[in-house]
Structure 1
Amino acid sequence: MVDQRTVEVLLLGDLEAAEFSCLLPTLAKLANVRWQRSDETAALANFAWVLLCAARPGRFGEAEVESIRRRNPLAQIVQIHGPWCYGEARTWPLPAGIERIAWYEAPYRLPSLLQSTGGPPIPATSSPQERALALLSDVSRSAEGGEVGIYALTAADFGLLASACQALGMTATWAELDQPPDSSWVGMVAIVASTDRAEFPAIAEAFRHAGDIPKLLCVGAPTWEDWQKGHSCGVTAILGQPFSLADVAQLLIPQGDCGILPLVNRAGKR
C-alpha cells in the first residue's frame, strides 16, 4: 500500500454542496490534502491527484482543466460529480482526459484509486468499453463463497443482482420483505427506484436487523435524500444504475485495508 503521507491530493470545487461536505475530513485519512477554490490555484502545482468536485454541469471547462494539467502534468485528474450532473456526459461537452465518478461512489472508489500500487493506471483517454474491460480484469472472486440476500421487486431486478453475485463466486436468494434477514447471509443488496417507494420502509427495517455484514442499496439515480435515508438504516454503500461489477466485488468481498471511507455528515455523524 502507498504510504498515506506520500500521496499529495489537490481538491478543487464545490465542497460547500451537501454531497461533498464530508470529502475533506475523510480524504485526510488517505493522503495529504489541499483544498482550494478553483480560481485560487495559480501557485498550486505538482500534485499526484487532482479531484474536481462539480455540483452543477459545466463546472469545470476545457480551458480550466488544461490550465490545471499544465501545472500538474503527472497528476491523475478525477471529477466527482453531484446528482445534478448525471446527464452531463450526454448533454454537455466534457473536458477530455479526466475520469468521472459520482458523489455516492467516492466512499468506495477513492480508497482504491489513491492507494493503488498495481500496474499502470487506465489511460484517461480510454473509451467507456476499454475502461470497463480493464476494471473487470481486476475483479476479485470470493474464496469462501456464501449467500447474499437480495430484496427486489421484480424478477428482472433479482436476476440482474443474482448474476452479479454468481459472477463473484457467491449464491443469491430472493428475500421476502415480510421475513427477517437470514443470519447465514454474508451480504444484502436491495434494489428500488427510490427511497420514496412504499416498499422502502420494510427494506430499511431489514437492513437495521441484518447485523455486521455489507448492505448495499441500489437506486436508479441516487439523490442526497436517498443517501441520508440509506445511511440512517445502516446501508454500507449506495450503487447507482447501471452499476459496476468491480464495485459490487469491492463492497461484498473483504478487501483488507483498501476498503470504504467511513463518510460523515456535517454534524460529524456517520
Structure 2
Amino acid sequence: MIRVLLIGDTSWPEFRPCIRLLAAADGVRLRRRASIVAAADAPSEHDLVLILQRYPGEHRAGDLDRLRRRLPLARYVVILGSWCEGEVRSGEPLPGVLRYYWHQWLSSAEEQLRLLRAGKNRAWSLPPTATDEDLVLAEVQTVTAARGRQAEKPDAGKDAPLLLVVSRDYAVFEWLRAAAGLWGITVRWHRCGAGLQPLPARTAGVVIDVERDGELPPRHLGRFQPENGGEAPPPIVLLMGFPRWHDVNRYLRAGATAVLSKPCALRDLERILVPQLRDDAA
C-alpha cells in the first residue's frame, strides 16, 4: 500500500483527470491537504507527496523545507499546470522535487506507481539533491530492468503488426522505426497533408505528430481506422508541443487514445502502443 499525500487545488481542470487516476489506482491510500502549510501543521506518515502547482510561485520553498523536515523519508513530486511551462527559465522551481506536467503525469503515473509499489522505481528513490542527469540515468535503469535482456527482434515481414507514423518530419519516423526493432513491428511513414489510403487490417497503432494548431481537426481522426472496420480500433496517439487542456480534451473526445507532449519519453509511448501491438501479434 502506497500512502499518498495530495496537496493543492484539486478543482483546477487540468488536475481533475490526474486525481481520478490516483483515486482509481490499486494499492493507493490517498489523503488531501489544501496547502503545504496545512500539511506541515498536521503531519502524518506518507510514502509519496504530490503537490499540484497551477502557476509559478504558488508554493514557497520555505514551506516545502518545513514539510520535508516533518516527512524526511517521503518522495516529493510536483504536478504542473500549463502556466508553469516557462518556470525553469524565468521562475524559481521548487527544489529537490520530481517535476511532471499534468499531461506527462497522465501518461506515466500508473507505471510509476506500480514500480514504486514493487520497490523498483529508481528515479523516485533518489535523494532530493539528485541532479537532472541522475534522474535520467535512474529512469533509463528502471526501463532497462523492466525490459530485461530483450533482444532486438527482426522485422516479421508483411504480416507483422503495423504502426503508422503521420508527420511532416521524417526524423519522427526514423526515431520510431529504431524502436520498432525492440517492439517486433513494422513502421510506415505518412507525410501530413498527403492523401491517405485506407489502412490495412493489420494496422495496430497510429502516431500523429501535430506541429501547429489546426493542422489536424479532431473530426479527422476517423480517417485513421483499418479498412476492415474491425471491432477494436487501433490506439491513436497524438504528439503535440505544450498541449493545452482544451486541446487534449477535444482529441480524447474525438477518439484519440492519448495526447503526449513533445519531446515525449519513448517508454510512455511504448506503454500505450506495445500491449496492443503484442496482442495483435499473438
Interval of TM-score (by shorter of Structure 1 and Structure 2):
0.7 to 0.9
| 1:127 is aligned to 2:128 | no
Higher mean alpha-carbon deviation, 112-121 vs 102-111, is at 112-121
Match of 1:12 among 3, 7, 13: 7
Deviation at 1:227, TM superposition (A): 0.7
User: Partner residue of 2:31?
Assistant: 34
TM-score scaled to structure 2, two decimals?
0.78
Compare relative contact order (CA 8 Å, sep 6+) and give the higher one, 1 or 2.
1
Give the root-mean-square deviation of aligned CA atoms.
2.6
Task: State the 1:53 CA deviation.
Answer: 0.7
**Comparing 152-161 and 182-191, the one that deviates more:** 152-161
Structure-1 separation of matches of 2:225 and 2:103? 20
Whole-angstrom CA distance in 1 between matches of 2:207 and 2:179: 11
Closer/same/farther in 2, CA of residues 156 and 12 from structure 1, 3 Å limit: same
Identity of aligned residues (%): 28
Q: Is the 8 A contact 2:14 2:245 kept in 1?
A: yes
Amino acid at match of 2:23: A
- Structural mapping, 1:1-270, within 5 Å: 6-30=1-25, 31-38=28-35, 39-41=37-39, 42-116=41-115, 117-119=118-120, 121-122=122-123, 123=126, 124-137=128-141, 138-139=143-144, 140=147, 146-166=161-181, 168-175=183-190, 178-194=196-212, 196-201=213-218, 203-207=220-224, 211-254=232-275
CA shift for structure 1 position 88:
1.2
8 A contact 2:2–2:47 mirrored in 1: yes
* In structure 2, distance between residues paired with 1:164 and 1:65: 39
Q: Write the distance in 1 (CA, Å) between the matches of 2:264 and 2:120.
A: 24
Change (3 A) 1:101 1:208: farther
Q: Distance in 2 between matches of 1:172 and 1:83?
A: 32
Distance (whole Å) between structure 2 residues aligned to residue 63 and residue 245 of structure 1: 35
Structure 1 unaligned regions, length at least 5: 1-5, 256-270
For residues 26 and 203 of structure 1, what CA distance do their matches in structure 2 show?
28
Residues 170 and 90 of structure 1, relative CA distance in 2, 3 Å threshold = farther
Contact (CA 8 Å) 1:46, 1:72: kept in 2 or not?
Answer: yes
Shift in CA distance, 171/53, structure 1 to aligned 2, threshold 3 Å: same
3-state SS of paired residue (1:74): coil
Q: Bigger CA drift: 177-186 or 57-66?
A: 177-186
The DSSP-based 3-state class of the residue aligned with 2:49 is: strand
Could you say which residue in structure 1 is the equivalent of 2:279? none
Aligned-pair distance for 1:215? 1.9
Residue 208 of structure 1: CA displacement? 6.5
CA spacing shift, 1:231–1:161, aligned 2, 3 Å? same
When residues 207 and 134 of structure 1 are mapped into structure 2, their CA distance, relative to the original with a 3 A threshold, is farther
Q: Deviation of residue 134 (structure 1)?
A: 2.6
Q: 1:22 to 1:154 in 2, by over 3 A?
A: closer
Q: Indicate the structure with greater helix content.
A: 2
Aligned length: 249
Asked if the contact 1:9–1:34 (Cα under 8 Å) also holds between the matched residues in 2, the reply is: yes
